[in-house]
Structure 1
Amino acid sequence: MTVQVFGLGTVEARITSSIGFEVGAALAELNADHGDRVKYGDVIARLHSAEQEARVAKSQAGIINAEATVTRAVAAIDKARAVLTQRKQRNDRKQALLSNKTISIEVAEEAQMEADVAAAELAVAISDREVAEALLKDAKSQYDYEQVLLDHHVLKVPYDAIVVARHKELGAVLTPGEPLFTLVAPETVWALAYVDEARAGDIRVGQAAEVRLRSQPRQLLWGHVSRIGIESDRVSEERKVYIACDTCPESFYLGEQAEVFITTTVLDKALLVPEMAVEGFDETHGTVWTVEDGHLRHREVAFGRRTLDSRLEIVGGLPKGARVVSTLRPGLREGRKAKFTENVAP
């Protein structure tokens, strides 16, 4: 005997994305439409980008200008070093002549000052090169930034997908972040079933499940429990159970109603009684009428699992050989003689 739990839900997908551009502009190119299959990296749309292309060109010119400034600064350093070497040599000669009292102190001091000025000019030239190199880095960063903004004018597919919807047409002006396409990863399609909390206690991940779609009522699809929602609905008192398909349909329709039957266990041997034949049932206990030694008895029994056709498994409370009355009829009373029943306690 197979014990199943029923859930009613819809066809959904684990990976569904609404994608668009990070910048705003007019749509200049569209390469995909509803129902198309697209691959990772495919270009499916472009924005008008002439203005941004001009900014990229301007930033490229800025790099060229900055590189020229660096080249000029390096040449200035070479010149300043040559001048400094020349003036150091002249100063050394002047200081030697001064020690021999061949020249005046004023001439020697002038030579020393020229050498010091040349050293200062070299330091300035080195500083100018550092500034020029910093400006070059800034120009390259600006170019990278403008190039990124230009790349944002191209919309690429983030994963292999099916286009569920296209929300705009050519010429439409989009704002940043506005959805243009809705995509779904077809391999992540599953059924989302809502199961009554009172029936969901035995559901486990990995259990087999059958799915019947509303559009194909005569066809059963096979799957398994992939995820059980951690949070139940506080109003409807239902639990979300996600069923991944083992035999997936060729086509799918998101939001289509689906009936789900989850197999929670298989009973090799069980004594079952219709719920309508139980009095005072509280989900775990109730009373049933039995036939024992040819007489009716009223006994409280314990129940286990419940089948989809509203039969309850009796797991305790019956003496050996007792037969359970499966249909309640007028006139049942304790001790009355009886002959017939369908169920026998093992």
Structure 2
Amino acid sequence: MAGSSRWKDWLHGARKHAAWLLAAVLVLAVAALAAPRMLRGPKVAVLQVVQRDFVQTVVASGRVETPHRADVGVQVTGTVVAVPVAQGQTVPAGALLIELESTEARAAVSQAELAVKQAAARVRQVREVDAPNAEQAVRQAQANHEVAERTLKRNRELIAREFIGQAALDDSERAASVAQSILRTAQQQLASARPGGSNAVSADAALAQARAAAEAARARLRYTRVLAPAAGTLIARNVERGDVVQPGKPLMVLSPSGAAQLVVQIDEKNLKLLAVGQDALASADAYADQRFAAKLAYINPGIDAQRGSVEVKLDVPQPPDYLRQDMTVSVDIEVARRPAAVLVPTEAVRGIDSPAPWLLKVEDGHARRQPVKLGLRSRGWCEVLSGASAGDAVLPATGPAALQVAEGARVRAIVPQR
């Protein structure tokens, strides 16, 4: 029995030592597996510095606006008898938009045209009747004057010989004076009837005045028909048949077709990057997959203090057919371009807005601080002017990787598959 007890004690002790030995082996195995990782550091996904052509853009949103809108109204007071167009309709230049009642205007035109005919008849009368009659009267007066002068001369000779009395001489002198007066009057009438004379000028002036009055009457008649000043789309209509309308009140708003502008608000911090003439690509929110060209045409000299933005306008040389007034658009303005630029993702730059930005670059298995000089920035990338080269691996400045890796720590870089 004693031998059996000793055997059991020995067996128990052996089992206990085996358990301890197994635990030690497991600990050594785990340490052997973990040691390389502890020596080489954790695996961390890194970002890469690349080299390619780079375009810096300023992104903004705004709306479509024509360079000018035409407010359509009437020029005379009247009653609307027809409005043959609807809001949203596209109309050609010269299309009828509003028609007013025109009976009185038409009657005024007829009356004015009759006055023109009367004035023209008076001009013809002066030229074709008065002038020839005046010429005939001058010839007759000239003949009578010559007879009276000869009679006066003869009577003066006779009275010298005492063949006639003083009374006969006085009669011949009066007759000669009257004949001369009649001749002067006839000559004045002829001069008045000829071109440039007072009667001719008066008749011509009356004709011109009548014609002007007729043109004014026709203009008032034309004012009863309001026509589209240019081809475009009616974006507002505030008039109906039967309305009594007056001058000075816009009744329709016409957005001319063809020319179009994009009006966008740019953050004032980007103002130094903008210049008139810069190219841009734009898209309407309703047609986001279709982009069209635009060009920066105007930069407002003032700043919107409440929004901290500046208004800019871009011309659209060839607007797409779907572009409509007041559509919402997104615009990418190209402000700079760099061929073969060295670029780093913006998320890897630490102190990006400080005077001394830097990267945490993976070099020889360690995370090392690397100061950099930055250039252009756009769409999640920064141009590196110095401090990094294409192919460098850098750690993100945010996220789990940024928290678990300190400057100088060992790290194993994992480049994500693209």
TM-score, scaled relative to structure 2 = 0.69
Matched, 1:36 2:89: yes
Q: Is the 8 A contact 2:376 2:382 kept in 1?
A: yes
Is the CA contact 2:300–2:310 (under 8 Å) kept in the aligned structure 1?
Answer: no
Q: Which has the higher strand share?
A: 1
Deviation readout 1:68-88 (Å, 9 max, x if unpaired)? 333444433432332222122
Q: Counterparts of 1:247 and 1:76 in 2: how far apart (Å)? A: 67
Distance 1:4 1:320, change over 3 A: closer
C-alpha separation between the residues in 1 aligned to 2:144 and 2:92?
74
1:115 maps onto 2:185 in alignment = no
1:176 aligned partner? 247
In structure 1, what is the Cα distance between the partners aligned to 2:67 and 2:411?
57
* C-alpha separation in 2, matches of 1:247 and 1:38: 18
Offset of residue 7 of structure 1: 0.6
Give, in whole Å, the separation in 2 of the partners of 1:30 and 1:321.
Answer: 70
Q: Which residue number in structure 2 is paired with residue 268 of structure 1?
A: 340
Alpha-carbon shift at residue 157 of structure 1 (Å): 1.8
1:98 aligns with 2:125: no
1:240 maps to which residue? 312
Work out which structure has the larger RCO, using CA pairs closer than 8 Å and 6 or more positions apart in sequence. Answer: 2
Shift of 1:295: 5.2
Give the Cα separation in 1 of the matches to 2:73 and 2:214: 24
Deviation at 1:136, TM superposition (A): 1.7
**Quick one: structure 1 residues 326 and 52, their matched pair in 2 at CA, closer, same or farther if it must change by over 3 Å?**
same
Q: 1:183 to 1:242 in 2, by over 3 A?
A: same
Q: Is the 8 A contact 2:284 2:323 kept in 1?
A: no
Task: Find out whether 1:87 has 2:158 as its counterpart.
Answer: no
- Distance, in Å, in 2 between the alignment partners of 1:122 and 1:134 is 23
Q: Give the match's secondary structure for 1:240.
A: strand
Please say if 1:5 is aligned against 2:58: yes
Which is higher, the Rg of structure 1 or of structure 2?
2
Check conservation: 1:306, 1:312, Cα contact below 8 A: yes
1:132-153: CA deviations, max 9, x gaps? 2222221112112222222222
Q: Percent identity?
A: 17
Q: Aligned residue for 1:279? A: 351
Which one-letter code corresponds to 1:165 in the other structure? A
Could you tell me how far 1:261 is from its partner in structure 2?
A: 2.9
Match among 212, 215, 229 for residue 299 of structure 2: 229
- Paired position in structure 2 for 1:145: 216
Deviations for 1:287-341, whole angstroms, at most 9, x for unmatched residues?
A: 21344555555454322111223x322213458997543325358766x244456
* Whole-Å separation in 1 of the counterparts to 2:77 and 2:327: 34
Change over 3 Å in CA distance of 1:189–1:41 after alignment to 2: same
Structure 2 gap segments, 5+ residues each: 1-53, 159-167, 193-197
The reply on whether 1:135 has 2:189 as its aligned counterpart is: no
User: Contact 2:348–2:359 at 8 Å: present in 1 too?
Assistant: no
Aligned mates of 1:199, 1:254 — CA distance in 2: 27
Q: Quick check: 2:90–2:234 contact (8 Å CA) kept in 1?
A: yes
Secondary structure of the equivalent of 1:162?
strand
Task: Calculate the aligned-residue CA RMSD, in Å.
Answer: 3.3
Cα distance in 2 for partners of 1:323, 1:251 equals 46
Q: Distance in 1 between matches of 2:319 and 2:234?
A: 22
Q: Which runs of 5+ in 1 are unaligned?
A: none
Shift of 1:18: 1.9
Distance 2:352 2:342 in 1: 21
The superposition leaves residues 177-199 of structure 1 with CA deviations (integer Å, 9 ceiling, x where unpaired) of 32232222333344332222333
1:157 equivalent in alignment to 2:157: no
Q: Which moved more, 1:9-18 or 1:120-129?
A: 120-129
Distance change >3 Å, CA 270–CA 82, structure 1 → 2: same
Q: Is residue 66–residue 139 contact of structure 1 (8 Å, CA) maintained in 2?
A: yes
Aligned length: 336
The 2-side partners of 1:3 and 1:10 are apart by 22
